Amino acid sequence: MIIGLGETGLSFARFLSRLPAEQQQPVVVMDDSPRPERVESLRQILPAAQVTAIDTEALCLANAAYVSPGVPLASASLKAARQAGIPLYGDVSLFGELAQAPIIGITGTNGKSTVTDLVNSIASRCMDGVRVGGNIGTPCLDILDDEARLYVLEVSSYQLELASSITCEVAVVLNLAPDHLDRYESLESYYETKLSIYRHCRSAVINRDLAATVPAISTPRVASFGVGSPDNEGALGMREAGGVVELTLAGQALLSSDEVLLQGNHNLLNIQAALATSWLMGFDMDAVLDVVRGYGGLPHRSQVVGRKAGVTYINDSKATNPAAMIAAVRGQANGRNIHLIAGGVTKSADFSQAAEELAAPVKSLHLIGESRDELRSAFEGYLLFEDVQLEKAVVHASELAEPGDVVLLAPGCASFDQFRDYVSRGIAFERFVEALL
């Protein structure tokens, strides 16, 4: 049984289709509302596969269930399957059993994709046979390759729920902040799921300022990153020097903030995490720093869309929780006024800290999407407008912005009330800005 016909569900189908003939078994895909184009894709992979709604009784008779990360393990059907002794496989857990090359596993609430992409760029400069995937881009089962020498995986908390025993050559938890509280019974449960990536790792990258206690790690091979500039081995840090921020390793300067394209304190921490990972992997540091200096980041993450009349338009559609919203605003403010576009689906998140910390730089707040009532209450006292639709918010914010200001899309929310995902939301923002420009 494959549970969920999203991108991961299709990757399960491709994996099962590649099994030797003697291991092939009938496949049933369960999804309560499969998209027609994905059903058609499934037909190209496994023509004989059946597609049905989720059926608890049938699921409990399966030989095995391959569970897409978007399907909660707490659902009644999966609970019943577990009680019936049906083996449940996630894509990352299965990948961890099959991969023959070392794995760098990167998780955290924010910054996962940027750090994964940067580490992949660094590793690809320093060695051959690097494969990247997981929660970023290509599903991990699609990058299994006998010729791979290193895998770089972005791993979500949903994927870790069934992959807590994965063995990573380097395990990285970038940060922890409230998110996905509509899925987890408590904040602690969400944090514990993230931190489980450390259980069987061979080396670890640790954020010294992590908002949770890191469990005991059996490996002595540890690197760290964070604020300050400690001089112990494997410690990445940052310090003020001559009006810029220096990034350091064991107290020694590596490069300064004016040498890199990524801006904002959150991105300097992301760079530190990539440097710490590189140090543990033994990569040549000169080559590593060369890659870091030229790295421009991923789309929809603090991306400059354009400028007009002295106003800068920034797309950070990937800021899908309050912590990411805070980081986006702080990263772009630097003495500039921010006209913030926010809203969508809150996922039961608490915005009180964001409202407290962003009052100074945010000169106008433009609410879109279904969460407007929650955000209006949280951001009481702000110059606030309920623009509802993204296009209206862009136009309205541009009318209020003055030379030197920033119009920033950093929603702090998921997108699926009005958009398919954060990418489609970011593309729409870019299209509306380009119409203005």
H helices of 228-371, where?
A: 265-281, 285-294, 322-333, 352-357
Residue with tokens 């990167």: 106
For Cα atoms 108, 111, 116, give the angle at the middle one, nearest 5 degrees. 90
Q: How far is CA 95 from the centre of its chain?
A: 19
Q: Active site residue: 110, 135, 175, 267, which one?
A: 135
- 249 membership: H or E segment, kind and range: strand 244-249
- Tokens for 145? 């390759």
Cα(294)–Cα(122) distance, rounded to whole angstroms? 11
Pairing of strands 204-207, 170-173: parallel
Taking the CA of residue 134 as centre, how many other CA atoms within 13 Å lie in the half-sphere pointing to its CB? Answer: 29
Q: Active site residue: 180, 266, 300, 318, which one?
A: 180
Beta bridge partners of 29: 2, 51
Nearest to 366 by CA among 431, 291, 313, 423: 313
Angle between helix 112-126 and helix 285-294 axes, rounded to 10 deg = 130
Angle between helix 91-98 and helix 7-17 axes, rounded to 10 deg = 40
Q: Is 180 a catalytic residue?
A: yes
Cα(414)–Cα(390) distance, rounded to whole angstroms? 14
Instruction: Count the Cβ atoms, other than its own, within 10 Å of residue 20.
Output: 6
Nearest to 329 by CA among 421, 270, 263: 263
Nearest to 179 by CA among 171, 191, 195: 191
Cα(156)–Cα(152) distance, rounded to whole angstroms? 13
Instruction: Count the Cβ atoms, other than its own, within 10 Å of residue 79.
Output: 13
Cα(336)–Cα(178) distance, rounded to whole angstroms? 27
Q: Are 324 and 412 a contacting pair, CB within 8 Å?
A: yes
Pairing of strands 303-308, 384-388: unpaired
Q: Is 347 a catalytic residue?
A: no
Residues noted as catalytic: 112, 135, 180
